Amino acid sequence: MIFCPCVGSGTLSSRFRAVIRRNLSPALAAVAVGAHRTHRTGHAVPGGSGSSAGVVLGCGVTVESDEEEPVSGNRVIARRYELTSPIGRGSMGEVWSGYDQRLDRRIAVKLLPSAKLAEADDPQLLTKRFVREAQLTAKVEHPGVPAVHDVGTEGDELFLVMQRISGTDLADIIAEHAPLSVSWAVSVAAQIAAVLTSAHEASLIHRDLKPSNVMIADSGTVKVLDFGIAAVLEGGHTKLTRAGDSMGTPAYMAPEQAMHNTATPAGDLYSLGCVLHELLSGERVFDAPGAPAIVHKHMSVPPTPLRECGVAVPAELERLVLDLLAKNPQQRPEDAREVYRRLLPYLPAPEDSASVIDSGDPTAPYRHPHAPRSSRRRPESTETPGEVPVADPRAAEERIRSEQQRANELVDEARFTQAAELLRSLLLDRSLRRQLTPERRTKIRRNLATFHFLGGDYRAALEEYTTLLAEFDDDSGVPIASVLECRFMAATCRMELGEDQRAARELRSLLNEYLRLLPSELERILEVRVQLATLLSNTGETNAARELLRQVLAAATTEESQLHAEQARRMLARLDELGR
């Protein structure tokens, strides 16, 4: 049996309706109720007034309508991909953070603008390279390569839609923390070697492997980015590089690539050697005032062994780095698979402990292989404001107003992930600290929790409800009804997450609190009893569940309470049918 907020046949609980009515406008509330029912039952629910979402069919599938979308101020590509903020510029165009409006997920979008095409000596060649990037990246099926979702044209521009990675740029890690420990450096290098193995087996060469093209995801998985200037080995494909082009970055470029523009798997291994040397030493293999001088050193100057640089590493690991940096490609390791094999002795061993894994730890996939990812999200900053400037009051108020309004528009379109991120960005922005009084922060966080709940992200919703409850103290002035409501929603989240025993304890305590502090709240007391009875029946405590349901029937004397009475009768009939 499905428990509230959608009990039995999918009937929405009165408490859930109350939460939505408090946080959303009437029009949005109708859509939110329907969207949540769709999430729980898979039934078709029409979109709200003015919504462009059309009909939601469950499982994230949407039938688009012809109605115009609300104006958000953000550009939308292909009537689906909303660009929210620029991430940077890659070798093949601009990269934007965005959202897939149809699937309500985060994405990264790479654009090849018409202006960049116009600047190119050969626009047709640049276009072919861009399209081939999508095809080649999609060809590499490996967790260390971001997934390609879509590619297409928008006017005179090309776009590539990819998985958006939540993590840290390896170049930033080196700048802040290098030299790194052997276990960290080797864990990063081994994962890169695994990606290169899959890429090379797919006849794909990266050609520009460097720290800024590597990210460590929050899970610890290393992601190799930007295959935009990659070359193919297959005889059936033209190498999309003109004579005279030198593709790559001088500080990480193999001698033969710099001299002859020759792209081979061995060149990627040389670049990996440069990265591994920098991880272990904190310094590049070669540095010089200009690119020609750097290239000259890569071609002519022997690399200094790590231990001569004062780096304490095993002799065999030092030997591997020197082999990777051999001037002659034939003297480098045979392939990326051999590199991985030679790194194995220095990888951290699997651990038996179930300790919490630090976010962004590249050793985690080796210490805890296939372990469940931590449910903890990146904490909000608790630092003092310091030198963070205070936003202009008018601009701050306008931003708070407009982003809350935009969040409501997104909820109207059942785009709960993006709506929640907008509200979370307000809470994290320290420049708004003067405008976001404790009362306003509480309201925004309650809406944030509601949006997570509506979107089915019960873990995130639970974290926000838990944060709210921690902020509610005797001096906060929050009505006891609001405190108990947050406790109820937190318990409901735990039920959705399968934390049955803890949810049952909290619901029992909550029932006692309502009876003691708010005995006149009949509907809410009945709802808590139904919730608790549902949970107890699912865990085998049927006698206690039956007693709670009988209490519901005895107390349901008003017209408003008949919904709970009907739920109780259905549950009792179901228990009788099952002989429980």
Residues 259 and 331 sit within 8 Å (Cβ to Cβ)? no
DSSP tag of 307: G
Distance spanning both ends of the chain, measured CA to CA: 14
Residues in contact with 442: Cβ distance below 8 Å, sequence separation at least 6, in sequence order: 468, 471, 478
- Beta bridge partners, 222, equal 216
Residues 248 and 257 sit within 8 Å (Cβ to Cβ)? yes
> Distance of alpha carbon 191 from its chain centroid, rounded?
20
b/e 217-244 (16+ beta carbons within 10 angstroms → b): bbbbbbbbbbbbbbbbeeeeeeebbeee
Residues in contact with 390: Cβ distance below 8 Å, sequence separation at least 6, in sequence order: 431, 433, 434
H/E segment holding residue 316:
helix 315-324
Residues in contact with 317: Cβ distance below 8 Å, sequence separation at least 6, in sequence order: 182, 186, 280, 306, 343, 346
Q: SS3 for 124?
A: helix
The C-alpha atoms of residue 190 and residue 208 are separated, in whole angstroms, by: 18
Question: Which position among 100, 104, 208, 226 bears the catalytic label?
Answer: 208
H/E segment holding residue 562:
helix 562-578
The C-alpha atoms of residue 444 and residue 23 are separated, in whole angstroms, by: 9
Q: Is 169 a catalytic residue?
A: no
Residues 526 and 549 sit within 8 Å (Cβ to Cβ)? no
Backbone angles phi, psi at 7, to 5 degrees: -95, 140
Amino acid at 393: P
The C-alpha atoms of residue 14 and residue 28 are separated, in whole angstroms, by: 17
Structure tokens, 446: 């309650």
DSSP tag of 146: P
Backbone angles phi, psi at 62, to 5 degrees: -130, 135
110 is in an annotated binding site: yes
- Beta bridge partners, 99, equal 82, 106
Structure tokens, 506: 């909290």
Residues 136 and 204 sit within 8 Å (Cβ to Cβ)? yes
Active site residues: 208
Q: Which residues define the annotated binding site for ATP?
A: 110
Q: Which residues are annotated as a binding site?
A: 110
